[in-house]
Structure 1
Amino acid sequence: MRGPMDPETYTDLLAKARAEVAATLQEARQLRLLLTAAERLFRVQAFDEILDSVLSATRTLLGCDLAHVNLQGADDPGRRQSIRALDGALTEAFRQQRTPAGSGLTGKVAESRSPYATLDYLADQDIRHDPLGDASVRAEGLRSMVGVPLFRNDDVIGVLMAGYRRRIPVGMSQISTLSTLGSLAALALNSARLHEEKLRAVADLRRANQQLQAGTADLESSAVAHDRLTTLVLRGAGAVELVAAVADILGASCVALGPDGAPLEETRSQDTPLHTVPREEWRRTSPAGRAQRLLVQGDAVVWVVPVTAAGEVLGGIALRRPDAPDLTPLEIRTLERAGVVLALVLTREQAVAEARHRMTSDVLLELITADADDQLDRERATQVGLREGDPYVVLVVRAPGQDRGAAQTIRTFAGSRTGLATRIGTDTVVVVPSTDAEQTAADLARRLDSQDPGTDSHGVSGVAVGASGPLTSLTRLPQAFREAEACARARQRLGGAERWATSASLGHLGLLLGAGGSGRPAEFVERSIGPVLDYDDRRGTHLRETLECYLETDRSLQKAAHLLNVHPNTVTQRLGRVGDLLGDDWQEHARLLDVQVALRLRRLQDG
């Protein structure tokens, strides 16, 4: 049986009991804090929130002055280390520090893959020191440190570190607590990583689904456009309908272009000038065969897709949409597909036109080269579109070395006016419905001028257009052809700025060509001085007589007045009336010569 316990023994036992109770309470407190930290860690999903929770728990459980986490990629261990999250730092140098891999406390923990504690960091020789890292630690005033690795599977993904601004022994209890926090942090970070990857995967799937839906919509839209264009081709639609369909599909205004890049007449609209492609731009873009964005007239956006077949440029499509000038990739593909369809249409039309041209060319050749005694084949003339009684103008184009582009331009001109064209030697003959020979000739010359704008060293154009008509009797076609041919030959020999000529525009030279019939002198007199003759007949005046005396006396007012036995002022007044009737330019050299010849022809007619 034990005796009574002495006071000293009792005091020792009581102290030990109190210490054990305090340690148990401290462990329970730490365990509660760890559980609270774990609950917070797994309640959040964002990386930064997890790191903030880990650092807060580290400072609370270990009573340290500073805590930070360095994270690194497991597949890139050689890169420089930087602090990802930090709590308790006082200096900017420590916040911004970047140290080489393997240096400092974090480098030693990462390489050894185990916890490490140091009583005095700067004096610890087992650590590989870096000057910049040591400077930041010294500026922060840190002494004792402890760090533990963070793992994902077998890979070190970072280091959790606690620092003290005093020397303090770090025991197994602190290392164990920090290791537990590190394990929880690694699990939470891995969970957050998986959550972020899941969110990214979901976002990628959503984007892929949106792209798939957009692609499906594009395919459906493209299929609808393709079906519409194909239906038009199968129905035999021409370029006009096709271009109108493209304009409707893309919500824009469109025109078809010819081989030279100029808008086709039948597809022109009010804003056609804005669709016109400059010649140099067309020459540059036409071989490409792909839709291209061009700026015309300053800043107007026009999309152009050339149409080619077998290496030959057949034309193109020009598109303009002022409200939304830039096309989407789908719209560009639709425009290019329309270009392919237009190539089919133009190739078909070209083949049909070629066959029709050969047939009409043969008939026209027979009509214009017929002898006077040949009977007109009215049935064949009707088959090619020529009707007795309708007005026609005959044109002859002389163009030495006429290339395919010029020939196509002439044929296009004839076709656009429901006319005919054929070749005779090096010349091309065109017959078109018209009542104005001069205007028709000028139009064709202007069209050809875009093909051959130059002249040779003598000022003689390489292209000349002669015209005759209008005629309403098809039996006059041979005569009109010879007259137009003579006018073209004269125009080419005479040179000058004009590229076209008629017997009327040539004046007295038209009579000397010998191409006209017996009625030509009378027509020449009428054109040259007809208004003067009519005025004399109506008013009983003497303008013709005055004009003859004036010209026979070398345009002397005094001598003419003497011959007429009138005052010179009277001569002046009569010549003023002549100017009113013939035009102010009647005394210019070319006109004056025509007037003189006409007056003498009139005298001959009067007998």
Structure 2
Amino acid sequence: MRESASDIANVRDGVLVSRAIVRHTRRLLGTDMAYLSLNDLAAGETYIHVTDGVRTEAYRSIRMPLGTGVLGAVAAGGAVVQTADYLSDSDMNHLPDIDEIVREEGVVAIMGAPLRVGGRVIGGLLVADRTATHFPRGAVEALERMAELGAIAVEQSRLVAENAALATQVKSAEGQGEERLKRVEKVLRLDDQMVQSLVAPTGLTGVAGTLSEAVHMAVGIHDARGRLVAGQPLLPRQAFDHWEVRAAVASSTQSGRSVGVRWDRRPYVVVSVTSGDEQIATLVARGPVEQIEAQLLERAATFVGAIMLFERSLIDAYNRAQSALFDDLVSDRSGDRHALTAAAQSYGITATEPSAVLAIATSPSERYQALNTTRAALRDRPAVVSLHGSEVCVILGSPAEPDVVHALSSELVAALRTEGMSPLIGIGHADGSEFIAGAHHQAHRVLAAEVALGWRSGYADAVQLGLAGLLLSGTDRATVDAMLERTIGPLTEYDETHSSELRLTAWTYFECGTHLESTATRLFLHRNTVRQRAERIDALLGPNWRRAPWSADIHLALRVWRLSEAGLVNENPSASVNTA
């Protein structure tokens, strides 16, 4: 990516830059070919502009109606499209003559990402293989990053041409259009400076400084959660939780334009930074701003996104070895078990000592930050930390006895909350590396049960949740609420109306083996008070609530209710379920 950015920075010929983008893309993804298309909206088509690795002239000359094939779908739909076997893929909108060209070229697998400029799709960047290939998530993200650079190159080439044409017009018209020429020159100058920021080591800090100079005002760059990552703290973190600021950011995400908003009676301008459908950052400046300043902020958003995605790619590259090991351990694939065992041992995961798997769920926009925070919190522990789908997953090496794992999970929850996240952690225990796959499945079941229980944040394992909790794995919250309403709904209504504790009394009664004396002792109440509460429960649920088989249903519902309650702590601290 840095090589491509250098090409944009140092070469002014648009075709040469586009060819460099295509060449670097092919090399980065290791594909047989790569090509870039541009849209011809007047004709309703997209056409291949430059190629690398293409053998036939017919393929190099392809023009396709928007919406057809992979090329036309990418150029029209604005989303990544891929197929492992194009000619046999019935989901594709095929054209017979194009299929024949594809067959002659020997193309099998194709993937494309759109070129976007200011919210508009202007073409596509595609790669193709002559063998069946499913492109993994890392390849998809890499192609999207290169497509963003490709869009910058195409747009910069257009602006250079427009600038030259305007200069000619200005000279011939003796001053007419000078203002427009100045605006284009400002955009080109900012592009040059931003491209230099891509190849410089200053990162987002350099971008924020360059942009502030260009628009002559302070600029802040915030991540998707509103945390300041570079520039000036113009808006506080809590402002991004306010509905007006959220609405402005959402509007900018949809339009690709700057949007004004007021906070604390002051005007601001926000510009959303996106990657595909994901909102990854927000630019903030003091408002109101002139049209040229808004245009500069919108242009800068593309570069901010490119830098942030490049930083992600560095994280992915750094984590690749651990991710591969994690996948091998949790998939329980057959293969070189000796090599796998040796690799696991290097992270403290042995075949005979206890280990544990943590499945950590946060919002999708927080997963990279959650990965970094988790890795930092466990830096002195033998562990494998990896992104797995939308979650951060951890395999803890020895020592990993339950009390040790619970303490570490508590520390992780605290560390992630400090960063503004609300993590849920499901824990699975294993007796050695051969049982990691089962522990991973168990951790996911626990996590699913926590979601069904309506937990906002916390951690637990199967023992802490018990049968009542694990039965809910894969159940949605509405189903849980309906079950509670059918069984203990009258108690809930009475407690909420009278500020009483009938549910707590009934739960304690069952937990104490249906002994009134033990119930009174545990609740620090007089025995007569407990008896009176039991009689009230009789009146609300009927006397059969204490007798089998109805007692089993009531006890299960009361256990689910207790698990659902925020801040639940069992009487035995070592068996506490920790929620918030």
Length-normalised TM-score, structure 1: 0.36
Bigger relative CO (Cα 8 Å, ≥ 6 apart):
2
